[in-house]
Amino acid sequence: GAGVSQSPRYKVAKRGQDVALRCDPISGHVSLFWYQQALGQGPEFLTYFQNEAQLDKSGLPSDRFFAERPEGSVSTLKIQRTQQEDSAVYLCASSFLRGDEQFFGPGTRLTVL
């Protein structure tokens, strides 16, 4: 079956531009997570959804970051007025239930020039 997919795989943005990153979780998975992975580092938690409810956004680094999952399936991570420090790989993961194993997508590599 299909795993978690993310698009685009690569995104180059000029500083100040807005970007939108998409995550398609595994069908039927209730929980969805976003992580940010800087070069040479481990992933860092950004936010968590249970169905369409965003239960935890404590990891979002600033109010320029916004995530949504309006129908409890596909999720979008939006970054407004991108800065160079936003350059990273953004990973999406989903799990069937809250405490279950998380399955990760391939990530979107964002480069802000």
Q: List interacting residues with other proteins (CB under 8 A).
A: 4, 33, 35, 40-45, 48, 50, 55-56, 58-59, 91, 93, 98-99, 101-107
Minimal distance, residue 106 CB to other proteins, in Å:
5
Q: How near is the Cβ of 46 to other proteins at its closest, in Å?
A: 9
Nearer to other proteins, 14 or 40 (CB): 40
**75 vs 20, 42, 85, 113, CA distance in Å?**
10, 22, 23, 25
Give least dist CB 58 to other proteins, A: 7
CA 56 to chain centre: 13
In angstroms, what is the minimal distance from the CB of 47 to other proteins? Answer: 9
Per-residue b or e along 5-22, where b marks 16 or more CB atoms closer than 10 Å to that residue's CB: ebeeeebebeeeeebebe
C-beta closer to other proteins: residue 14 or 58: 58
Q: Which is nearer to other proteins, 4 or 79 (CB)?
A: 4
Alpha-carbon gap, residue 30 to 50, rounded angstroms: 6
